[in-house]
Structure 1
Amino acid sequence: MHPNAAFAWDDTEALRAFAQDIGFGTLFMATPQGPRVAHLPFVFLAENRIGFHIARNNAMTQYLDGAEALFVVNGPDGYISPDWYGMDNQVPTWNYCAIEMQGNMRQMTQDELIAQSDALSLFQEAKLAPKPLWDRSKMADGYFEKMLRGILGFHMDITAWRGTRKLGQNKPDTARNAAADGAEQAGKRDIADMMRRLP
């Protein structure tokens, strides 16, 4: 994560809420064939446990059970032009929010995989209200079971959280807000909003 202490984000409750709202990230792991990544939706199963499923034939799947891995969730980001600060002697930069969750992987049982799959879809479907909730009862008989044969479920017990919110905290408020205006005009509304919401 970014070495500048001004950008450190160490509020675990806020990190968890932010990661959960995004619900998608990248799993990184070293394997005998070299480093591998997978891009996955996930859901929190407990305070410090995430669950996901991955294609059975993914290059990293055979190495996951019992391994230590890193799961990264990226939030909004955007280029920041030096012109936007209204200050002399500034340089271009990139503002962003990111969370790293490090932990130990364990393969799920079939029942745990089904529960994880249901929890993931329910959590995401609830965000779409007032649309009626979708659930697997709407699938043809046997189709869900067929799909399960192509995936494996895993959970990560998180042993370390690392977060970065690089939002211009090292600039005066007026300069940061001016840069947020520039970012919004450039189409980066999400990162601009986060820059403005800093205490």
Structure 2
Amino acid sequence: MRQNPSFAMTDVAELRRVIGENPWATLVGRDAAGMTASHYAILLDPERDDLTVVGHVGRPDDLVLGLGRPEQELMVIFQGPHGYIAPGWYGDVAAVPTWNYVAVHLSGVPEVLDAEENLRVLEHLVDHFENRFPSPRGMWTPPNDEAFVRRLEAGTIGFRLTPTRVTAKRKLSQNKPDEIIENVILELSRDESHPNPALAAEMRRAHDARLAARAQQA
């Protein structure tokens, strides 16, 4: 993803928020046949406070993604809120349609986990999503037994990625006047044909942060 200084995201806390809220990621790697993209749920490493992520892939995706090959990079892409921006929302000015979005790209050489650590990552993944339910079921909840869970683990490869390259972009109409940004947020909130409250909320968050920073500098 080409970086644009006007839209760059660099704050680690904000990057962690975007990753945490959008765990369904795209993994891009390569083998001798070329590049492959796969899709998995990826989480922030619960034992770290940086941008390290953990996850797993099913066999044989580890081979086509090049996991475990020395110096073979993996790219993990997190897609935040995004959506169409109509030119009419800019008012009576020359304008073209565009697409607002938030995206985070993490690249680095992944560490392949042993079986026990992979089990911990799988358990963390299950707990993360099950805890939203009234009666969560963990990895070890009956009728799951140890033999079943071990067979499940054996069919996966766990990994940890501490990125050596981070490219993150938040293209949310920052290059437009305040009144236009406010109107785009309003339209995204009330458009009955294509409502996009998630993108409106992301734009509001970014715009309010800019206004606060501007006030501090005044």
**Equivalent residue runs for 1:20-35 within 5 Å:** 20-35=20-35
Deviates more, 1:138-147 or 1:168-177: 138-147
Helix, strand or coil at the partner of 1:168: coil
Shift of 1:104: 1.1
Whose strand fraction is larger, Structure 1's or Structure 2's? 1
- Between the aligned partners of 1:169 and 1:191, the Cα distance in structure 2 is 14
Deviates more, 1:168-177 or 1:21-30: 21-30
Shift of 1:36: 0.6
Letter in 1 for 2:41: P
Deviates more, 1:60-69 or 1:143-152: 60-69
Structure 1 residues 132 and 175: CA distance shift in structure 2, 3 A: same
Helix, strand or coil at the partner of 1:158: coil
- Between the aligned partners of 2:109 and 2:51, the Cα distance in structure 1 is 11
Letter in 2 for 1:12: V
- Between the aligned partners of 1:194 and 1:175, the Cα distance in structure 2 is 15
Picking from 61, 66, 69, the partner of 1:63 is 66
Q: Is the 8 A contact 1:103 1:157 kept in 2?
A: yes
Shift of 1:59: 6.7
Letter in 2 for 1:178: N
**Where does structure 1 lack aligned partners over 5 or more consecutive residues?**
none
Root-mean-square deviation (CA, aligned residues, Å) is 1.8
Give the fraction of aligned pairs with identical amino acids, expressed as a percent. Answer: 26
Structure 1 residues 86 and 60: CA distance shift in structure 2, 3 A: farther
**Equivalent residue runs for 1:119-134 within 5 Å:** 119-126=124-131, 128=132, 131-134=134-137
Q: Is the 8 A contact 2:31 2:65 kept in 1?
A: no
Shift of 1:133: 3.1
- Between the aligned partners of 1:32 and 1:7, the Cα distance in structure 2 is 35
Shift of 1:158: 1.3
Letter in 2 for 1:146: R
Q: Which residue does the alignment assign to 1:164?
A: 169
Deviates more, 1:57-66 or 1:167-176: 57-66
For normalisation by structure 2, the TM-score amounts to: 0.83
Shift of 1:41: 0.7
Q: Is the 8 A contact 1:37 1:60 kept in 2?
A: no
Q: Which residue does the alignment assign to 2:200?
A: 192
**Equivalent residue runs for 1:66-105 within 5 Å:** 66=70, 67-105=72-110
- Between the aligned partners of 2:186 and 2:2, the Cα distance in structure 1 is 24
- Between the aligned partners of 1:8 and 1:194, the Cα distance in structure 2 is 15
- Between the aligned partners of 1:176 and 1:30, the Cα distance in structure 2 is 40
Letter in 2 for 1:106: E
Q: Does 1:136 align with 2:144?
A: no
Letter in 2 for 1:190: A
Structure 1 residues 62 and 161: CA distance shift in structure 2, 3 A: closer
Shift of 1:2: 4.6
Cα-to-partner distance string for 1:135-172 (whole Å, 9 max, x where unaligned): 12224322212222221111112112211111000001
Q: Does 1:49 align with 2:52?
A: yes
Q: Is the 8 A contact 2:9 2:169 kept in 1?
A: yes
Q: Is the 8 A contact 1:97 1:164 kept in 2?
A: yes
- Between the aligned partners of 1:53 and 1:97, the Cα distance in structure 2 is 24
Q: Is the 8 A contact 1:70 1:102 kept in 2?
A: yes
Greater relative CO (CA pairs within 8 A, separation 6+) = 1
- Between the aligned partners of 1:117 and 1:111, the Cα distance in structure 2 is 10
